[in-house]
Chain A
């Protein structure tokens, strides 16, 4: 009998204790962060999407070789004499046209290993982490600033220059052969 009334008392008492707690929580400010409107500050060394500053890129291919999953593809074309490619921000002279610089973010594992070898610090991690796509092809980013026509043009220029150089070399090779004949 004593237990019976004890049960009733405990039940009612504990309900009121619980209600007091929930009522207090009604006025505690919410901890919700309304994500797309409000974003949490990222940690200092967070690793997200890569970015390549093509003004500084010298086309040295070191990032591509450092990449453990081979997600960076680089093709370069030598510049022909007389073309001025400018200098990088830390004073290196650029000598290569970069005609292809693709990073496939579907493959990228965000290890940051490509960032360290870069001699001009032109490839680095940004704080962008919202870049989901519906098509996997859209995750292949092309960083080259040249238009497709310009890239073709550079290749052609170089081929033409090489052809001219080869022709000149061939001419130069023949000329010394002929000269001794004249002399002799």
Chain B
């Protein structure tokens, strides 16, 4: 699609691949991170009856731009006893891990970075790079707090990957595909066809599935929340205990890379949740482009709905952040191993039986 278009335009596979690969970064992730950081601070402020940033631009809308400029100018500090190589690779690896996930996410029916058949498993596998990057950052910083944060983060991501994958497995079993494009394509037309409402086929099974789909959604939402290290699962970055976890020693652009990766990750997991359960890029009420018979309007609308759903789930993540206190380590592990995993297993079985019937 996009790749073929650029291939025809420039006649070179390398340029086309390069452009197609950097497109989501330039037109989506960077603006999204800019807006999400501001949104986070504004939401945080207003939920605590404060105002949030107010001084740069009207109601502080240019605050993140100013922050980015500040980060660009900052000195890149590398302490003497750091492991230089790992220290420099870590932020790149973390960002690459979260950015690579965007390759398989369908933004519209007209744009997907790589239409992989194993899309959802590819995303889960490639985000594993983030764990490696975080461990590297913590180890190479030569700082006890960073190391503690990194170890907590790795333990948390690894244990919460299991319920995530179990729920993904439930969905894969139910829909019979791992391709995110097909997954979204199946949930077309009205919102009643979304997977959270039991999928597109109208039968008794559809109504039986709804409660179990809602349970599956809650499990994947909680576990992805833990995977992106957001409150209430933010012990890897617990400010009051660990300064700020694995990126304590980083400054300037390297710190910005971690920050960008965190926000890219937030959107990535929200996009996966919306693609699995909430129809991906599909509009809940049909398209204006279809009624007006304008074909090019449909992808634009789809992009809007996809962003809307993603940003909504990101907003819910922020909302939860300012609602819930941080979990202790043992509570964190209890929540994953004693509650989420057994429930996800039982849910997997029940959904399987219902689909068979």
With A25-B46, A26-B46 in contact, is A34–B51 under 8 Å at CB? yes
In the assembled complex, the CB of A40 is this many whole angstroms from the nearest CB of chain B, namely: 16
With A15-B323, A19-B319, A19-B320 in contact, is A25–B51 under 8 Å at CB? no
Nearest-neighbor residue (CB-CB) of A20 within chain B: B323
Interface centre among A22, A29, A30, A32, by most chain B C-beta atoms within 10 angstroms, is A22
Taking a contact as CB atoms under 8 Å apart, the answer to whether B50 and A26 are in contact is no
**Chain B contacts with A in 171-210, Cβ cutoff 8 A:** none
Contact of B51 among A26, A27, A32 (CB under 8 A): A32
Residues of B within 8 A of A18 (CB): 323-324
**A contact residues vs B (CB 8 Å cutoff):** 7-8, 12, 15, 18-19, 21-23, 25-32, 34
Taking a contact as CB atoms under 8 Å apart, the answer to whether A30 and B324 are in contact is no
* Additional A-B contacts beyond A8-B343, A19-B320, A25-B48 (5; CB < 8 A): A23-B319, A25-B49, A27-B46, A32-B50, A32-B51
Q: Mark B297-338, 1 if CB is under 8 A from A, else 0.
A: 000000000000000000000011011100000000000000
- In the complex, A32 Cα to B323 Cα: how many Å? 20
Contact of B323 among A7, A19, A27, A28 (CB under 8 A): A19
Count of inter-chain pairs, beta carbons less than 8 A: 41
A-B pairs, top 10 by smallest CB distance, nearest first, are: A18-B323, A32-B51, A22-B323, A30-B51, A22-B47, A26-B46, A31-B49, A19-B323, A25-B47, A32-B50
**B54 on the A face (CB < 8 A):** yes
With A8-B339, A15-B324, A30-B45 in contact, is A22–B50 under 8 Å at CB? no
- In the complex, A30 Cα to B343 Cα: how many Å? 41
Taking a contact as CB atoms under 8 Å apart, the answer to whether B319 and A22 are in contact is yes
27 contacts between A and B (CB under 8 A): A7-B339, A8-B339, A8-B343, A12-B218, A15-B323, A18-B323, A18-B324, A19-B319, A19-B323, A21-B323, A22-B47, A22-B319, A22-B322, A22-B323, A23-B319, A25-B47, A25-B48, A25-B49, A26-B46, A28-B49, A30-B45, A30-B49, A30-B51, A31-B49, A32-B49, A32-B50, A34-B54
Nearest-neighbor residue (CB-CB) of A17 within chain B: B323
Nearest-neighbor residue (CB-CB) of A29 within chain B: B49
- In the complex, A22 Cα to B317 Cα: how many Å? 13
**B43 on the A face (CB < 8 A):** yes
Interface centre among A15, A18, A26, A29, by most chain B C-beta atoms within 10 angstroms, is A26
Residues of A within 8 A of B49 (CB): 25, 28-32
Nearest-neighbor residue (CB-CB) of A7 within chain B: B339
Taking a contact as CB atoms under 8 Å apart, the answer to whether A30 and B50 are in contact is yes
Nearest-neighbor residue (CB-CB) of A32 within chain B: B51
Q: Mark B48-76, 1 if CB is under 8 A from A, else 0.
A: 11110010000000000000000000000
- In the complex, A114 Cα to B145 Cα: how many Å? 56
With A8-B339, A34-B54 in contact, is A26–B323 under 8 Å at CB? no
- In the complex, A5 Cα to B269 Cα: how many Å? 27
Residues of A within 8 A of B50 (CB): 30-32
Residues of A within 8 A of B320 (CB): 15, 19
In the assembled complex, the CB of B326 is this many whole angstroms from the nearest CB of chain A, namely: 14
Interface centre among B50, B323, B339, by most chain A C-beta atoms within 10 angstroms, is B323
- In the complex, A38 Cα to B60 Cα: how many Å? 17
- In the complex, A8 Cα to B335 Cα: how many Å? 10
Residues of B within 8 A of A21 (CB): 323
Residues of B within 8 A of A28 (CB): 49
Residues of A within 8 A of B46 (CB): 25-27, 30
Residues of B within 8 A of A34 (CB): 51, 54
Residues of B within 8 A of A32 (CB): 49-51, 54
Residues of B within 8 A of A25 (CB): 46-49
- In the complex, A25 Cα to B51 Cα: how many Å? 12
Contact of A26 among B47, B54, B324, B339 (CB under 8 A): B47
In the assembled complex, the CB of B269 is this many whole angstroms from the nearest CB of chain A, namely: 18
- In the complex, A21 Cα to B47 Cα: how many Å? 9
Nearest-neighbor residue (CB-CB) of A30 within chain B: B51
- In the complex, A19 Cα to B43 Cα: how many Å? 13
In the assembled complex, the CB of A10 is this many whole angstroms from the nearest CB of chain B, namely: 12
Residues of B within 8 A of A30 (CB): 45-46, 49-51
Nearest-neighbor residue (CB-CB) of B334 within chain A: A7
Residues of A within 8 A of B48 (CB): 25
In the assembled complex, the CB of A25 is this many whole angstroms from the nearest CB of chain B, namely: 5
